[in-house]
Structure 1
Amino acid sequence: MNDSARNPSQNMSCDIAIVGGGLAGGLIALALHQQRPGLKLALIEGGKTLGGNHRWSWFESDLDAAGKALMAPITQTVWDKGYDVGFPKYTRTLATGYRSMSSADFHAALADTLPDGALILGRRASTVEASGAVFDDGTRIAANTVIDCRSFKSSQHLRGGWQVFVGHHMRLGHEHGLERPVIMDATVDQVAPHGNGGAYRFVYVLPLAKDEVFVEDTYYADEPALDRAALDARIKTYSRDHGWDDSALIGQESGVLPVLTGGNFHAYQAEVRIPGVVVAGARAGFVHPLTSYTIPIAVGNALAIADKAELPAARLAEIMESRARRHWRSTGFYRLLGRFLFFAADPERRVNVFQRFYGLRKGLIERFYAARSTGFDRVRVLWGNPPVSIPRAILAMFKRGKPLKGPATNAADPTPMQTETTA
């Protein structure tokens, strides 16, 4: 990658310009390069590296052969002995394989794979339009097709709650002894940090090496406030309880994610629409409403865009808008479950919703996370002994939640909203 890619000094042109170098934008660029190597691409990212500061994870069953081929150039941590979950009433090991990648590996793979000049880093596009993008300094890049993959846009048209997290990547002075990831340890205290209302809390643990572990404290909460000091302290307590108190912190991340429970999606699309511009990623609504999982959705969209890249930009924009509407309709079940979680369950009993869910069949759980639940799956999740009262569940069906206007920040930790999470 040459220096002009980082700091272009004159107007440029390309076939396809992708604005936003997060997961969605990076995978689209990778898919386009793999399938259509003759195209001149520009992947524009305001940060100095692609992917920000994230760790993305997914189940081995989430991706088909084409999806795995797309992800193959990126270094991944692989666990083939399944994963563990823990709740007040039981612990369970599920046999599904698990995968994870860091944003550093994501950036390295794309920097090595994409052609010289394709990455434009450290430059923010202040204007995005069908014919190209304009940078803050007035420099312009012209493109036949522009794909908008900027971050999720908070909006009064979308409603729900929040998923808040802080993660620590630690190197230990000894081997931790873990064979498998712990996707959800909900045996921890369920009280939310001060000032954040009710919550469902769990800890997420990845054994990245024999002496390295990633520990993330996550909670579903009514409000988007992130109390960094409280979560840092909780992670230290959890680590000490597991014998990891001699650790050295070598990386960390934090975020506030929207958990969608309802809204007017047509109005939201009108709000983010730029005529003739393809909108993708979380900004287009391509997220799992309840879990915030993005890998299988982002991979599917990247392959779909690469398959139709020869179409006129306006037509491709229409196709992706239609695809986003289908995704919204097909994920209504997960928004319903989100309403049960936030509006039907008392905060201290929200753990029961997930405790019951993880007692179901492995295949059902796999399809749930990939947002591919069958009709039978949906009936099975709702059928039987419900974790919330029937009257409150009925009332929750007609609630939509508060407008997702964006997270609050505080002077000590002005953490911006993020839209891609680990689990």
Structure 2
Amino acid sequence: MTNRLDCDLAILGGGLSGSLIALAFAAKRPDVRIRLIESGKAIGGNHIWSFFDGDVTAQDRWLIDPLVTHRWAQGHEVRFPGHQRRLDTPYNSIASPRLDAHVRATLGDVTMTGTSVAAVTPTSVRLTDEREIDAGAVIDARGAADLSPLRCGWQKFVGHALLLDAPHGIDRPVIMDATVDQMDGYRFVYLLPWDDHTVFIEDTYYSDTPDLDVRAIDARIAAYASDKGWTGRVIHREQGVLPVVHGGDFDLYWPKDDPVARAGVRAGLFQPMTGYSLPDAVRFATWLVDQPLDQLATVTRAHAAAHWRSGGYYRLLGKMLFGAAVPDQRWRIFARFYGLRAPLIQRFYAGRSTITDRVRILCGRPPVPIRDAMRTLLNPPA
């Protein structure tokens, strides 16, 4: 084994953000020699990422389209007590095996899996197997950094893919089925019909704590399937916890004197209210290929700081959700939101809400106690 390797750009972390950066450089900057370093056995781990068509601009679809494993052109729907709605915006999903296969086919042997990082500088990486990489630049996309400087609620989930004995009868994704019993905050079930006999069922919570009782949620998923009359076997499982950031100090999360460039959740690049990172990961990767590698830490931190400032409105909404709404009544906020115009909903998920959108979301009959809402509004998040 060669103990010293070199490259122009070392990308730490083969999750979605790191992989998209590597794919963008391979396509747009083939002169840049890259290495993608992932501690797990597979690129992307064990995940499903989903996005609405409007989350990614037309000019950036070239990067993400080869990864899409399922697409529902007919749109999606939501369900709340006394309210069900179908929306026309197409929906897409990416499964990690497709990401893994595409990255390996595109990058070849510069993809390094099962490889953990021991130490990092702006121009070098030392691996736990004692190999060292000399790099023109390094960017760290290894998931979240220390979240203690941030004030967070949590979106947490357990998902099962079921191969059923009979057709499930669902023709489009159900983004939120909030007709289920409410517990541990706002609870909803998320459904993706992969084919006539296969459905992905994810039990999701907007909760005050990151604790995930997997066995209990497994049982709730089984009960949900039974209530629908679905019988079959589980062919895939996944789980996760995403931060829903409603305040904090960006300068503590990413100190100014940290000399290593960052990407993805480690850079704070996600929609604060939803925790979803795919739209920002695509935007960041296509932006990064035009940046000077010798100034990577400076330009990426400036980009992330601007993103933090632009997210103040979404953090305010998150603070209202977790600070003003009674946990088992949080579903009313989402039910009211899904009564608004479809283009507004789309811009919200993409993190592109207009000033008019922002006013409209906060106006009207409040779905939270007015006194608690005012207390929250008078103490806005950082």
TM range (shorter): over 0.9
Aligned counterpart, 1:132: 124
Number of positions where the alignment pairs a residue of Structure 1 with one of Structure 2: 381
CA contact (8 A) 1:75 1:109 kept: no
Give the Cα separation in 2 of the matches to 1:386 and 1:64.
33
Aligned counterpart, 2:240: 255
Aligned counterpart, 1:117: 109
1:204 and 2:190 correspond: yes
Q: TM-score, normalised by structure 2?
A: 0.97
1:71: how far off? 1.3
1:394: how far off? 1.7
1:286 and 2:272 correspond: no
Match of 2:208 among 189, 204, 222: 222
1:64 and 2:51 correspond: no
Match of 1:238 among 201, 204, 224: 224
CA contact (8 A) 2:52 2:89 kept: yes
Give the Cα separation in 1 of the matches to 2:359 and 2:379.
21
CA contact (8 A) 2:145 2:253 kept: no
Aligned counterpart, 2:73: 80
Give the Cα separation in 1 of the matches to 2:147 and 2:176.
30
CA contact (8 A) 2:316 2:380 kept: no
1:17 and 2:10 correspond: yes
1:274 and 2:258 correspond: yes
1:367 and 2:347 correspond: yes
Of 177-186 and 387-396, more deviation after overlay is shown by: 387-396
Correspondence list, 1:165-184, <5 A:
165-184=157-176
Letter of the 1:241 counterpart = D
1:361: how far off? 0.5
Correspondence list, 1:312-331, <5 A:
312-313=293-294, 315-331=295-311
1:386 and 2:379 correspond: no
Q: Which deviations, in whole Å up to 9, do the C-alpha atoms of 1:47-79 show, x marking residues without a partner?
A: 010111100000011112222111132242010
Give the Cα separation in 2 of the matches to 1:393 and 1:18.
43
Letter of the 1:280 counterpart = A
Letter of the 2:116 counterpart = R
1:281: how far off? 0.6
Give the Cα separation in 2 of the matches to 1:278 and 1:82.
37
Aligned counterpart, 1:397: 377
Q: TM-score, normalised by structure 1?
A: 0.88
1:155: how far off? 2.8
Give the Cα separation in 2 of the matches to 1:327 and 1:157.
17
Give the Cα separation in 2 of the matches to 1:247 and 1:307.
49
CA contact (8 A) 1:159 1:400 kept: no
Aligned counterpart, 2:26: 33
1:202: how far off? 0.3
1:93 and 2:76 correspond: no
Aligned counterpart, 2:281: 298
Aligned-partner SS, 1:156: coil
Structure 2 stretches of 5 or more lacking a match? none
Letter of the 2:360 counterpart = R
Letter of the 1:355 counterpart = A
Structure 1 stretches of 5 or more lacking a match? 1-7, 193-198, 402-423
Select the structure with the greater relative contact order (CA < 8 A; seq sep ≥ 6).
Answer: 1
1:316: how far off? 2.3
Q: Which deviations, in whole Å up to 9, do the C-alpha atoms of 1:227-273 show, x marking residues without a partner?
A: 011100110011111121x21111110111111010011121118x6
Give the Cα separation in 2 of the matches to 1:107 and 1:267.
33
1:264 and 2:257 correspond: no
Give the Cα separation in 1 of the matches to 2:378 and 2:203.
31
Letter of the 1:126 counterpart = A
CA contact (8 A) 1:24 1:280 kept: yes
Match of 1:351 among 323, 328, 331: 331
Give the Cα separation in 1 of the matches to 2:59 and 2:106.
17
Q: Which deviations, in whole Å up to 9, do the C-alpha atoms of 1:266-308 show, x marking residues without a partner?
A: 121118x631x22111000001111111111100000011122
1:399: how far off? 5.4
1:326: how far off? 1.1
Q: Which deviations, in whole Å up to 9, do the C-alpha atoms of 1:154-201 show, x marking residues without a partner?
A: 332111211110000111112112110000000100022xxxxxx000
Aligned-partner SS, 2:189: strand
Give the Cα separation in 1 of the matches to 2:157 and 2:378.
28
Coordinate RMSD, CA, aligned: 1.4
CA contact (8 A) 1:130 1:274 kept: no
Give the Cα separation in 2 of the matches to 1:302 and 1:156.
27
Letter of the 1:187 counterpart = T
What is the identity percentage for the equivalent residue pairs of Structure 1 and Structure 2? 46
CA contact (8 A) 2:146 2:253 kept: no
1:398: how far off? 5.1
Give the Cα separation in 2 of the matches to 1:305 and 1:75.
22
Aligned counterpart, 2:44: 51
